[in-house]
Amino acid sequence: MRVPAERIQAESNEKPRRRARTMAAVAAAFTAGAIAGPVVTAWAQEGSRAETYRLLNLFGDVFERVRAEYVEPVNDREVIENAINGMLQGLDPHSSYMNLRNFRDMQVQTRGEFGGLGIEVSQEAGYVKVISPIDDTPAARAGVKPGDLITHINEKTTQGLTLQEAVDQMRGERGSSIRLTIRREGTATPVELTLTRDVIRPQVVRARLEAGDIAYVRLTSFNEQTEVGLRRALQTLRSQAGSGGLKGVVLDLRNNPGGLLDQAIQVSDDFLDQGEIVSTRARRPEDAQRWNAKSGDITSGLPVVVLVNAGSASASEIVAGALQDHRRAIVMGVKSFGKGSVQTVMPLPGNGAIRLTTARYYTPSGRSIQATGIQPDIEVLAQREDAQQNRERDREADLNRALRNDSTGTGATGVNARPPAPLPPLNLPQGAVSAVQRMPPEGAPAFDPTKPETDHQLQQAIGLLHSIAGAPPQRRASR
């Protein structure tokens, strides 16, 4: 097909004008952002200001060509938001853009109520990866497991979707159905699940007495209700323990994906009388922060075992790391997830917010959690198969573009970093550690969350607490 010369000339004249209008809009947007957001002292990290404007001109040129030449008309807001999200997601797995609706959803979720399936997710190899299903939600009841890859939603592939787009598709009105196709390690064929959406009001604190004198408290996430729920649970269990009182506490953080930093600090403070809880170190030394414990231990010094696994992330690792470093608790289980980065939510007036990684977490001894996680004091496997697999999985270090660990004083944190201090040895009764069984015995029943006696890690924690307290073991048989 021949294109008239007049049209070619008209287009060649119009394109610079469109590009100029686009660049004016982009410049205005950047100016507005500089006014509305924090002052940026080093606007261009590399290269000259001229190079920065050249790159912005490249962005404007691409944007204008998409608007003018794409096979179907495009929505300007969607294109710009996708570009922003791509810029942020290209940094690390946890930075992202939230439009106004998603920002409101996030605010609702941190208050402890949201709609959907009840799955904490990340993204891997273009698919949605389950970090952990939340207890008593449609996902948990349907049998969704940590490590599952969600490849299709309602028979449409999740490849090419951003994590937020996939989450949006899984959310919906209560009572509506959704079909997930899951690829699960060890399963030859895809797993097909049909779930009914519900209003998710996760019970973030679950508690019961074990063996008549051990307080078992499970925290499923860290939202605004967590620390208050922990205090109430321990108070209730103390009253149920009878004249003998409590002999110890099991704090179960397995498959707890984290949440609010202030709640992690408060939960740690509940067990500590003094000392540092956690610190953060950012790009600029002056932005470093540190939180210290106030006097008052709500357990009155009872021995504590913290259970962790590969699904224990972020706020869970802050708590486990603080109690481990102060030797206030014994950490048991397997190595945690390793998410040691801080995301700051920055509202954009009228346009949602960005979630930007701004710092790293450090335990009181100076250890960075990032990409390494919390190594348990005593390794105990949930199943014998875990030992046979003998490889790392489902952790931060496996994610694309994950930040490196920086506990050695080199790299992005610069002068803020310091070598971690060595931890003091565990002070336990002779033979207490050797009595802990690393894995279930041959022929032990498979783990059933409704039957605590099948939870090998929990039973070993109970036995260790009884050993520390000098009480005769009353734990259930593990087989």
Each residue of 358-402: pLDDT tens digit? 999 999 999 999 999 999 999 999 988 765 554 555 689 888 899
Confidence (pLDDT) at 24: 54
Residue 18: its pLDDT value, please? Answer: 56
Residue 261 vs residues 110, 179, 243, 278: alpha-carbon distances, Å: 11, 34, 37, 10
Burial class (CB in 10 A: 0-12, 13-18, 19+), 123: buried
pLDDT in tens, 306-316: 999 999 999 99
**Residue 414 predicted with pLDDT over 50:** no
Q: According to the model, what pLDDT value does residue 244 have?
A: 87
- Averaged pLDDT for residues 50-65: 92
State yes or no: pLDDT of 477 exceeds 50. no
State the DSSP H helix or E strand holding residue 308, giving kind and residue range, or none if neither: strand 304-308
Is pLDDT at 122 greater than 90 in this prediction? no
* Two tokens, residue 453: 């006696």
Residue 150 above 70 pLDDT? Answer: yes
The rounded percent of the chain whose pLDDT value lies above 70 is 83
Q: For domain 114-200, which CATH number applies: 3.40.50.11890, 2.30.42.10, 3.30.70.1290, 3.80.10.10?
A: 2.30.42.10
* Type of residue found at 296: G
Residue 11 confidence (pLDDT) above 50: no
CA–CA dist 81, 361 (Å, integer): 29
73-118 pLDDT tens trace: 999 999 999 999 999 999 999 999 998 888 887 887 777 667 789 8
DSSP letters of 117-131?
--EEEEEETTEEEEE
Helix (H, G, I), strand (E, B), or coil: what is residue 338?
coil
Which DSSP string do the residues of 61-83 spell out, in sequence order? Answer: HHHHHHHHHSSS---HHHHHHHH
| Residue 52 tokens, joined | 């920065």
Mean pLDDT taken over the chain: 85
The CATH number of domain 205-340+357-469, selected from 3.40.50.1220, 3.30.70.250, 3.90.226.10, 3.90.1150.10: 3.90.226.10
pLDDT of residue 19: 55
Out of 6-10, 169-173, 339-343, least confident range? 6-10
* Helix or strand (DSSP H, E) at 8: helix 5-36
- When pLDDT is cut at 50, 70 and 90, the band that residue 479 belongs to is very low
Distance between CA atoms of residues 229 and 206, nearest Å: 9
Confidence at 21, pLDDT banded by 50, 70, 90: low
Which residue of the set 129, 247, 335, 339 is catalytic?
Answer: 339
Kindly tell me if the per-residue pLDDT of 270 is higher than 50.
yes
Residue of 95, 314, 336, 407 marked active site:
314
* pLDDT for the residue 367: 94
pLDDT at res. 461: 98
Helices (H), 353-471: 384-389, 456-469
Least confident residue range of 49-58, 225-234, 381-390: 381-390
Q: Look up residue 157 and give its amino acid.
A: T
Beta bridge partners of 448: 451
pLDDT at 44 > cutoff 50: no
**Hey, where are the domains in the chain?**
5-74, 114-200, 205-340+357-469
Residue 6, pLDDT score: 38
Q: What does the CA dihedral 12, 18, 23, 26 come to, rounded to 10 degrees?
A: -150
Positive or negative: CA dihedral 111, 117, 118, 119: negative
- From the list 252, 269, 270, 325, the catalytic residue is 325
β-strands 378-379, 248-252 pairing: unpaired
pLDDT in the model for residue 393: 56
**Residue 476's pLDDT is what?**
42
User: If residue 50 lies in a helix (H) or strand (E), which one and from where to where?
Assistant: helix 49-69
pLDDT of residue 39: 43
Active site (annotated) includes residue 314: yes
The pLDDT assigned to 265 comes to: 98
Q: Which of 120-124, 271-275, 286-290, 434-438 has the lowest mean pLDDT?
A: 120-124
Mean pLDDT score, 156-160: 92
CA distance readout (Å), 367 to 49, 73, 118: 38, 51, 32
Question: Is pLDDT above 80 for 7?
Answer: no
Does the global pTM surpass 0.85? no
